[in-house]
Structure 1
Amino acid sequence: MENSMTSVGKCGLRNPLLGRRLRLGFVGGGRGGLVGQWHFAGARLSNHWQVVAGALSSDPDNAHNSAVEWMIAPDRSYGDWKEMAEAEAGRDDGIEAVSIVTPNWTHHRIAAAFLKAGIDVILDKPMTTTVSDARELVELQRATGRVLVMTYPYAHHAMVRQAKHMIRNGAVGSIRQAHVEYVQEWATSPVPGRGKGAIWRHDPEKVGRTSTIGDIGTHAYHLLHTITGQQIASVRAEFHNCGAPKRMEDTAYVNFRLENGAPGILWVTQAAPGQYCGLRIRVWGDMGGLDWDQEKPEVLRYVPLGEQEQIFLRGHGNGILPEAERLIHLPRGHGEAAVDAWANLYAEAGLAIAARRAGYALPKGCIELSGVEDGLKGMLFIDACADSHESGGSWVSMKQ
């Protein structure tokens, strides 16, 4: 079956393309890692993946216990990712993709090893810690022909997809301004006692030139680009420490100009008491405005200029576009949230990777994933913000 067709007539997001689940491995993501649990839950909920192997932690006990919980066979629970890449590439039933859920500074070398081993990659953001490493991964992905998916899960909420395609269809007209923010509170108090992740996120030797911009700022930038369809042309950034003393910023204010000249503001902080996971975007054009808030993910507010506001609720029909409806699992009144967005991401990744392996051509618009180019753009955004801050807040062009 896997070599009998060259095209697919429809998307089939709910069902594995090849009539079976793909074999997935994990590097990182074991006990104590919240993001790893989201990846794992999303992969399973998507129905496209069977997790069969992993190097789940650098701590042997954690790796063993996590493998037991995830029902990974003992002979496929590896001591390190190098061993895993080599062993799985040599198996007839080896993994077909790997999810890399490790700290930022390890992304480049782990992703490169699996691409070279012929294994497709699903990679947590940011793609790397330097632009040069990001460019190298772009070239390696092109050379190997393997799929590399960046995991920006917020873009896989149904109502984000709705906003994106409403704007493409002209709902707000010409974009005139935008505001995106991502606000949290965890860095307000001293870091000790908050876990290893809180510590390395403020270590420049581990994360590169930025902390909060590289962490949640990349999500805000990606959401802005996804919904508006516009690239950022230039930025003016200021970094601040508004919480407990630390080596790197916990807050950033970024003025930007989109490629069409429209101005905007991107504000991120992890030191705002009372804020939890406040990712919000507002886009205004000459014909109306849209507003989406990650903490209320099933609601999209739209106001055509001079008319009554319209509230779009996640669900089937009633103005929901086909591009968004593909991501909807349940009727209105039955909540969908973060794990459902992760499942949508893993379902689309499953389609892309199965199609590549079988030589299928997916219909145009069937999936809307982020790849290596998006990972590189995220790194260019990080560098532009750092350049601006270090120059005293001057305007800096986004390099391509």
Structure 2
Amino acid sequence: MINGSKVLDHPIRWAMVGGGKGSQIGYIHRSAALRDNNFQLVAGAFDINPERGMAFAAELGIDPDRCYPDYKTMFEKEAQREDGIEAVSIATPNSVHYEVCKAALEAGIHVVCEKPLCFSTEEGEELVALAKKKNLVVGVTYGYSGHQMIQQARQMIKNGDLGDIRVINMSFAFGGYNYKIEETNAAAKWRFDPKKAGPSFAMADVGTHCLYIIEAMIPDMKIDKVLCSKDAFVEGRELEDNAFTLMRLNGSEHVQEGAKVYCWSSSINCGARHGHVIRVVGSKASIEWDDERPNQMTYEIEGEPVRRLERGAGYLYEEARVEDRIGGGHAEGLFEAWANLYRRFALAIEGMSKGEEEYGDFWYPDVEAGLAGVKWIEKCVESANNGEVWVKY
């Protein structure tokens, strides 16, 4: 169980780019990173408006000398300090993720980045190579993967409880964008602008969360082909607000040859708060997880009563129980999931220099996962734009 005890020699000196006042995602980053005293927020360039960003940094109690007008100034000035930053989180609109991440790596700084990591496979491959060359960690905040039941699903699949995986049915289909919300909501407006959001909205914004969760559950999963259909149902949008993706998998130790994955990515599912559900069907049994009920997962064996597995229960695999933050029966939520990921990022940063990991089957959404998400978006867009055809992955 995680109880807040010290796991690092010292808290990692940490900064943020973006995530300023009014940013919901910025608050989640700070709450998660600071929860276990693995990170210490010492600097920041929080806003595209320098005065507003520096004022917000002061509200957070950051030394005024370490409140910066932009990320380039921050990286330059912090490099001149003996106590300069060791890691940075990027919580900006998508269009600058690549340039900030690259600049941080070139400056010798570990990175935690919002997804998508960048806009193209070429950019992603460049970041992968740079991170390896510099011996630096790049974590990507696929925050839902930090829920304890994702780790339980991973262990169940690894240990053969489900048999060979045949079908995966997943969705992240929320409502709320079923009208032109971007006309009155600035936070929504940039998401439909290809220059700022990239080549996709729905698939990049929510579909890649589903993709990474099944990659975490089934680390040896390999996609063979992709077929995608996407639409902008709300008139005037340049990017899709709804997409259906079908994937064919190659066989592996835990996956039957020709297994199929279906993903519904949407922002126009009227009435749905999230609609984020993952169902994995094997030759022996199935599991299903719903992020609106993240502390439970159904486990269904053919011919037997349905089981509901509970977070924190003693019957879970040890690798899942290690991330308990409070006893079973108490509800844990998204902040705890993000904190679990930030704890993994901290351990990865510490382990990068020491060659150590704290517990078995250690993983986190890394730079390779970021690249995988970008490649998936590219292949989906390629399939849809070429008449909804199968595309070799």
TM-score w.r.t. length of structure 1 = 0.92
Residue deviations 1:102-144 (CA, integer Å, cap 9, x gap): 1111011111111111111111111101111111101111111
Which of 8, 15, 19 is the equivalent residue of 1:18? 8
Query: For 2:191 and 2:73, how far apart are their aligned partners in 1?
Result: 27
Query: For 1:59 and 1:27, how far apart are their aligned partners in 2?
Result: 12
Query: For 2:86 and 2:169, how far apart are their aligned partners in 1?
Result: 39
Query: For 1:262 and 1:127, how far apart are their aligned partners in 2?
Result: 28
Q: SS at the partner of 1:46?
A: coil
Which of 370, 376, 380 is the equivalent residue of 2:371? 376
Query: For 1:37 and 1:298, how far apart are their aligned partners in 2?
Result: 22
Equivalent residues of 2:45, 2:53 under 8 A apart: yes
Q: SS at the partner of 2:327?
A: coil
Structure 1 position 108 matched with structure 2 position 98 = yes
Correspondence for 2:259: 262
Equivalent residues of 1:188, 1:244 under 8 A apart: no
Over the aligned positions, Cα root-mean-square deviation in angstroms equals: 1.7
Structure 1 position 355 matched with structure 2 position 351 = yes
Equivalent residues of 2:347, 2:358 under 8 A apart: no
Query: For 2:57 and 2:319, how far apart are their aligned partners in 1?
Result: 36
Structure 1 position 299 matched with structure 2 position 296 = yes
Aligned in 2, Cα 1:323/1:65: closer, same or farther, shift over 3 Å? same
Mark the runs of 5 or more structure 1 residues left unpaired by the alignment. 1-10
Query: For 1:276 and 1:71, how far apart are their aligned partners in 2?
Result: 35
- Equivalent runs, 1:64-103 vs 2, <5 Å: 64-103=54-93
Amino acid at match of 1:352: A
Equivalent residues of 2:8, 2:38 under 8 A apart: no
Amino acid at match of 1:384: K
Amino acid at match of 1:20: H
Correspondence for 1:233: 224
Amino acid at match of 1:274: G
Correspondence for 1:35: 25
Residue deviations 1:286-315 (CA, integer Å, cap 9, x gap): 100000000000001001122111111111
Aligned in 2, Cα 1:348/1:16: closer, same or farther, shift over 3 Å? farther
Query: For 1:304 and 1:12, how far apart are their aligned partners in 2?
Result: 31
How far is 1:233 from its partner?
1.9
Correspondence for 2:243: 252
Residue deviations 1:117-173 (CA, integer Å, cap 9, x gap): 111111111110111111110111111111111111111100111111111111110
Equivalent residues of 1:101, 1:124 under 8 A apart: yes
Query: For 1:211 and 1:196, how far apart are their aligned partners in 2?
Result: 15
Aligned in 2, Cα 1:364/1:333: closer, same or farther, shift over 3 Å? closer
* Higher mean C-alpha deviation, range 12-21 or range 93-102: 12-21
Q: SS at the partner of 1:170?
A: coil
Amino acid at match of 1:295: E
Aligned in 2, Cα 1:15/1:249: closer, same or farther, shift over 3 Å? same
How far is 1:258 from its partner?
1.7
Equivalent residues of 2:183, 2:189 under 8 A apart: no
How far is 1:92 from its partner?
0.7
Q: SS at the partner of 1:209?
A: coil
Which of 320, 326, 335 is the equivalent residue of 2:322? 326
Aligned in 2, Cα 1:150/1:391: closer, same or farther, shift over 3 Å? same
Query: For 1:316 and 1:294, how far apart are their aligned partners in 2?
Result: 18
Query: For 1:253 and 1:341, how far apart are their aligned partners in 2?
Result: 27
Equivalent residues of 2:226, 2:380 under 8 A apart: yes
Residue deviations 1:344-397 (CA, integer Å, cap 9, x gap): 01111111112224x242256363211111111111100110000011110012
Q: SS at the partner of 2:247?
A: strand
Correspondence for 1:7: none
Query: For 1:76 and 1:166, how far apart are their aligned partners in 2?
Result: 46
Equivalent residues of 1:26, 1:98 under 8 A apart: yes
How far is 1:77 from its partner?
0.6
Aligned in 2, Cα 1:70/1:231: closer, same or farther, shift over 3 Å? farther
Query: For 1:168 and 1:205, how far apart are their aligned partners in 2?
Result: 41
Correspondence for 2:254: none
Aligned in 2, Cα 1:194/1:16: closer, same or farther, shift over 3 Å? farther
Amino acid at match of 1:23: R
Amino acid at match of 2:277: R
How far is 1:226 from its partner?
1.7
Amino acid at match of 2:202: T
Query: For 1:195 and 1:343, how far apart are their aligned partners in 2?
Result: 28
Query: For 1:108 and 1:16, how far apart are their aligned partners in 2?
Result: 33
Q: SS at the partner of 1:40?
A: helix
Identity level (%): 34
Which of 330, 337, 341 is the equivalent residue of 2:337? 341
Q: SS at the partner of 1:302?
A: strand
Which of 251, 267, 281 is the equivalent residue of 2:278? 281
How far is 1:334 from its partner?
1.9
Amino acid at match of 1:297: P
Q: SS at the partner of 1:289?
A: strand
Equivalent residues of 2:242, 2:267 under 8 A apart: yes
Amino acid at match of 1:247: E
Equivalent residues of 2:45, 2:54 under 8 A apart: no
How far is 1:281 from its partner?
0.3
Correspondence for 1:6: none
